[in-house]
Structure 1
Amino acid sequence: MIYAAGVLPNVHASFEVAALFLQAPQPKGPVLRMFRVPGRGDEEAVEKDFEKLLRMQGGRGENGYVVRVPIPAQDALQFDRHDPTLLAKRKDLAGYGSVVTVGELFTRGPSVPLQTLTQRTGLSGQAGAVRILRGRDVLLDGTIASPDPDGDVWTQLPRESLLQVGDLILRSISRPTDRRLVVSEVRSEHLPAAVDERVMVLRPKAPLDAQQIRFILLFLRSPMARALLVQAGVHVLWRDLADLPLPQPDEALASALDDLDIARQRLEEWHGEADEILQSVFIEQSAAQARDRIVQSGQTLRLRIAAADLLDDLGHIVRTRFPYPIALRWRETEAALSTRGAGAAYEAILGTAEILLAYSALIAAALAKEEGVRLESINSIREQLARGRGPGFGDWVATLEEISGKRVRRGLPAEHPLNALGSLFSDEQVKAARRRLSDRRNDQSHERRVDPIDLPQAQADAFADLTTLIEGARFLADWSLIHVTGVHWDAFRGHALVDYRNLMGDHPAVPTNTMSWNSSDIELGSLYLKDRENRLHLLRPFLIGHRCRECRSWSTFHVDKAPQGTVTLKSLEHGHPLDYPIAADPLRHVGLL
Structure 2
Amino acid sequence: MAETAQLSSLSEQLVATGFERLAQGMPAVLGSSQFARELPFSAPEGWQSVCEPSWEQLAARAGELLADGPLLLVPTWERRMNPARRRATDPDSYYVEVVTSCRPPSPDAVMAVLLPAQAWVSDRPWAAEMRTKVAEHWDTLLVVYMSGTLTHLHANVESAVVFLRARAQTRPVLKVFQVPRPRPDEAAVVKDFERLLARQGGKGEHGYVLREPPGPEQGLHFDSFDPHILQRREDLAGFGAVNALGDLFTFHLAPFSDTALKKGRHLTSSKDPGGVRMVRPRDIGRDGTIAPPSEETLWATIPADRQLAAGDLVIRRLIAPFMVPPHGFFTAEIGEKDLPAAASDQVVVLRPIKPLSRPQARLITMFLRTPLALTLAGARLATTTMEALSALPVPQPDEALTKALDELTAAKQQFKRWEQEADSVIESVFLEKTAARARARVIDSGRALRLRVEAASLLDDLGHSVRTRFPYPIAYRWRETEARISAGDAQAAYAAILDTAEQLLCYVAQLVLAFTHARQLTFGAVTAIRDKLAGGRSGPGFGDWANVLNEAATSRQLNNLPEAHPLNDIRKLLAHADAEKARQALSKRRNDQAHLRRVDPIDLPHAIDIAFADLTHLVERARFLADLPLIEITDIRWDAFARSARVEYRELAGDHPVVPTRTMTSPNNNLEKGSLYLRDTDGGLHLLRPFLIGRDCPTCRTWSTFHADRVPRGAVVFKSLEHGHTWEDTSPGMRRLLSQVGLV
In structure 2, relative to structure 1, the CA distance for the partners of 1:147 and 1:226 (3 Å cut) is same
Alignment of 1:54-203 (within 5 A): 69-78=212-221, 80-83=223-226, 86-97=229-240, 99-114=242-257, 117=261, 118-119=263-264, 121=266, 123=268, 131-146=277-292, 151-157=297-303, 159=305, 161-173=306-318, 175-176=323-324, 179-191=327-339, 193-203=341-351
Cα distance in 2 for partners of 1:498, 1:316 equals 29
Shift of 1:469: 1.1
In structure 2, relative to structure 1, the CA distance for the partners of 1:149 and 1:516 (3 Å cut) is farther
In structure 2, relative to structure 1, the CA distance for the partners of 1:340 and 1:265 (3 Å cut) is same
Answer yes or no: is the 8 Å Cα contact 1:172–1:237 preserved in 2. no
Which has the higher mean CA deviation after the structures are superposed, 67-76 or 322-331?
A: 67-76
Shift of 1:211: 2.0
Deviations 1:485-529 (A, max 9, x none): 222333343333222222111111222222222333222222111
Shift of 1:292: 0.6
Partner of 1:509 in structure 2?
658
Q: Does 1:591 align with 2:736?
A: no
In structure 2, relative to structure 1, the CA distance for the partners of 1:324 and 1:88 (3 Å cut) is closer
Corresponding letter in the other structure for 1:144: I
Select which of 643, 648, 663 maps to 1:494. Answer: 643
Q: Does 1:563 align with 2:712?
A: yes
Cα distance in 1 for partners of 2:221, 2:555 equals 38
Answer yes or no: is the 8 Å Cα contact 1:78–1:231 preserved in 2. no
Shift of 1:350: 0.9
Partner of 2:568 in structure 1?
419
Alignment of 1:297-376 (within 5 A): 297-376=445-524
The aligned length equals: 592
Q: Does 1:428 align with 2:577?
A: yes
Cα distance in 2 for partners of 1:200, 1:121 equals 21
Identity %: 48
In structure 2, relative to structure 1, the CA distance for the partners of 1:340 and 1:225 (3 Å cut) is same
Shift of 1:171: 0.7
For structure 2, which runs of at least 5 residues remain unmatched after alignment?
A: 1-142
Cα distance in 2 for partners of 1:58, 1:153 equals 57
In structure 2, relative to structure 1, the CA distance for the partners of 1:113 and 1:22 (3 Å cut) is farther
Normalising by the residue count of structure 1, what TM-score does the alignment of the two structures yield? 0.88
Deviations 1:374-421 (A, max 9, x none): 233334333332332422222222222222234231432111111111
Secondary structure of 2:575's match? coil
In structure 2, relative to structure 1, the CA distance for the partners of 1:134 and 1:540 (3 Å cut) is same
Cα distance in 1 for partners of 2:198, 2:540 equals 60
Deviations 1:68-119 (A, max 9, x none): 5423323334555445554454455455455444344434235235376443
In structure 2, relative to structure 1, the CA distance for the partners of 1:452 and 1:461 (3 Å cut) is same
Answer yes or no: is the 8 Å Cα contact 2:467–2:654 preserved in 1. yes
Shift of 1:152: 3.1
The alignment yields a C-alpha RMSD, in angstroms, of 3.3
Answer yes or no: is the 8 Å Cα contact 2:267–2:298 preserved in 1. no
Shift of 1:340: 3.1
Which has the higher mean CA deviation after the structures are superposed, 50-59 or 529-538?
A: 50-59
Shift of 1:55: 6.7
Deviations 1:162-191 (A, max 9, x none): 444433110113634553311111334545
Alignment of 1:470-549 (within 5 A): 470-549=619-698
Shift of 1:433: 1.1
Deviations 1:444-498 (A, max 9, x none): 2222322333323322222111111111111111111112222233334333322
Normalising by the residue count of structure 2, what TM-score does the alignment of the two structures yield? 0.72
Cα distance in 1 for partners of 2:493, 2:177 equals 64
Select which of 603, 609, 616 maps to 1:467. Answer: 616
Answer yes or no: is the 8 Å Cα contact 2:275–2:299 preserved in 1. no
Partner of 1:224 in structure 2?
372
In structure 2, relative to structure 1, the CA distance for the partners of 1:149 and 1:50 (3 Å cut) is closer
Corresponding letter in the other structure for 1:220: L
Which has the higher mean CA deviation after the structures are superposed, 316-325 or 406-415?
A: 406-415
Cα distance in 2 for partners of 1:402, 1:479 equals 21
In structure 2, relative to structure 1, the CA distance for the partners of 1:405 and 1:259 (3 Å cut) is farther
Shift of 1:347: 1.0
Cα distance in 2 for partners of 1:417, 1:41 equals 43
Corresponding letter in the other structure for 2:534: A
In structure 2, relative to structure 1, the CA distance for the partners of 1:518 and 1:65 (3 Å cut) is closer
Partner of 2:44 in structure 1?
none
Corresponding letter in the other structure for 1:154: A
Secondary structure of 1:497's match? strand
In structure 2, relative to structure 1, the CA distance for the partners of 1:407 and 1:36 (3 Å cut) is closer
Q: Does 1:24 align with 2:24?
A: no
Cα distance in 2 for partners of 1:53, 1:299 equals 66
Cα distance in 2 for partners of 1:350, 1:143 equals 53
Shift of 1:361: 1.1
Cα distance in 1 for partners of 2:151, 2:710 equals 87
Alignment of 1:199-210 (within 5 A): 199-210=347-358
Answer yes or no: is the 8 Å Cα contact 1:3–1:37 preserved in 2. no
Shift of 1:371: 2.6
Secondary structure of 1:173's match? coil
Cα distance in 2 for partners of 1:55, 1:580 equals 67
Cα distance in 2 for partners of 1:381, 1:73 equals 60
Answer yes or no: is the 8 Å Cα contact 1:98–1:247 preserved in 2. yes
Answer yes or no: is the 8 Å Cα contact 2:550–2:575 preserved in 1. no
Secondary structure of 1:487's match? strand
Secondary structure of 2:713's match? helix
